Structure 1
Amino acid sequence: MVHSNQVHASFDPVNAASYALGPAHKQSSFEVNYFNIHGFGQNPRTLLALAGVSFKSHTPEKWIEEEMAKTAFGVMPVLKETTVDGKVLEISESVAIEHYLGRIFGLYGDNHFEQTVIDQFYHSTSSLLDQIYSRKFGYKDHPKILEDNLKKLSETYVPTWAKYHEAHLQANGANGHYVGNKFSIADVRSANLIPVIQSITGETIVSESKTPAIWKLKTTLEANPSYAAYTETDEFKGHCKGNMEYYGF
């Protein structure tokens, strides 16, 4: 096996100072490289919209042939940030991107306690998402396996997730946030998961009437002016169309 000694720019310490620009990150421009669907690009785009910064989405025309090998891990999404001093920062892996955006735009709590709470609910939702993707998609030609998988999701994984998240959100005042009265990466991850859950269970588990505090995550996000403006763009509507064609929701 041949190992390359070349360090990808994402991991080169020479760029370390550019990651600590503080408020200057608001002056950066951003690009999310991903397919023309919501998928794993949805949360990074949502966080950028909430932050009210300039960003665009880009779907590489020759992803496999040309672009894949240029990324840190050969996967998308990839976030590219061009800073005010002209540095281009490139971050791979959706979870790393979301945590990075959360840190630089104040969407990751105000102290270690809040960050730890956010982390726990964020990763709880990530675990459910992993179960959904592993059990639902890829079984189109295996209807019996798919039926059993969806039953397990509907009877075990989704209800358990909903139980604990609803209880915490109610305790926080059912105000659409996991911590205090501020948006966080956990709010966004769960709010964007609701349509995915309903594509499997309908309104039998998660809905405005059954889980009002979870539902409040969705309506609070939708009411944010910066995010609401983003959802009216042709770009966002194109992602919705792509999602419906690819995933069915």
Structure 2
Amino acid sequence: MPNYKLMYFDSKGRAEVIRMALTVAGQEFEDKRFAREEWQTVKPTIPQNQLPCLQVDGRFIPQSGAILRYVGRAFGLYGENNDESTIIDVVIGTTEDFMKHVIALYYEKDEAKKAELIKDVQEVKLPAYLNILEDILKQNDGGNGFFAGKKISIADMLVFDLMDQVGTMVTLPTFPPKLGGLMEKVKSNPKMKEYLAKRGS
């Protein structure tokens, strides 16, 4: 079996959904978390000089999206066929579009501008994103409650993780019915439940 080492900082960020995916897959991995000072020393040795980075038997895989898809394909979390994988890609792309607004909010230093961004995300961007996700679920869940197919995928975990992290910056609204059901299904997955209990907030 390959040895997996996920490298990131001591925070959730872009690595958290990858941690979740590996955990749900039942795959042991080294969760290497760099202090900022340590990272400056290690940085020149990491492809593209950025994190997260996944090391598989010594081979480096950079870029969070590529890592997440790699893990999804490796452990059956990326759909059972091309149609399901495509739906998952649609969810990932939609999420990346929304994340641009969240990242802008996170890095804004001017308090007045930050307040405007919070209002826009909370009142406009977030409801629109949730409605898109609800529509995707209505069109594709087939009564199973997941975005694609009959079991949990990286798309389900990605949305769950994003809402978990965004909820620390803005007030989350009540989720639409199907999306709310999805969030509960992800949270109640046995391995995910155990992981969240260990991790805490």
What is the TM-score normalised by the length of structure 1?
0.73
Name the Cα RMSD after superposition: 1.9
Number of the residue aligned with 1:73? 48
Measured at CA, do residues 198 and 164 of structure 1 come closer, stay the same or move farther in structure 2, by a change above 3 Å?
A: same
Alpha carbons of 1:129 and 1:34: their partners in 2 closer, same or farther (altered >3 Å)?
same
What is the TM-score when the length of structure 2 is the normalising length? Answer: 0.89
Taking the aligned partners of 2:165 and 2:176, their CA distance within structure 1 comes to 15
Change (3 A) 1:199 1:231: closer
Post-superposition shift, 1:170?
3.3
**2:122: which partner in 1?**
154
- Partners of 1:201 and 1:63 in 2: CA distance: 30
Superposed, which structure 2 residues align to 1:36-47 within 5 Å? 36-47=10-21
Structure 1, 34-43 or 224-233: larger mean CA deviation: 224-233
Structure 1 residues 59, 200: CA separation in 2 closer, same or farther (over 3 Å shift)?
closer
Aligned pairs for 1:1-249 (under 5 A) are: 27-61=1-35, 62-65=38-41, 67-82=42-57, 88-134=58-104, 136-140=105-109, 142-171=110-139, 172=141, 175-203=144-172, 205=173, 207=174, 210-233=175-198, 236-237=199-200, 240=201
* Unaligned runs of at least 5 residues, structure 1: 1-26, 83-87, 241-249
Question: Aligned partner of 1:32: which letter?
Answer: L
**Paired letter, 1:55:** F
Deviations 1:81-139 (A, max 9, x none): 23xxxxx22111111100100111111111111111110111101211121111x1122
SS of equivalent residue, structure 1 residue 137: helix
1:124 partner letter: T
Report if the CA contact (8 A) 1:174-1:212 is conserved: no
Give the Cα–Cα distance (whole angstroms) in 2 for the partners of residues 200 and 213 of structure 1.
Answer: 24
SS in 1 for 2:24: helix
Q: Percent identity?
A: 25
Q: What is the deviation of 1:174?
A: 6.3
Unpaired runs of at least 5, structure 2? none
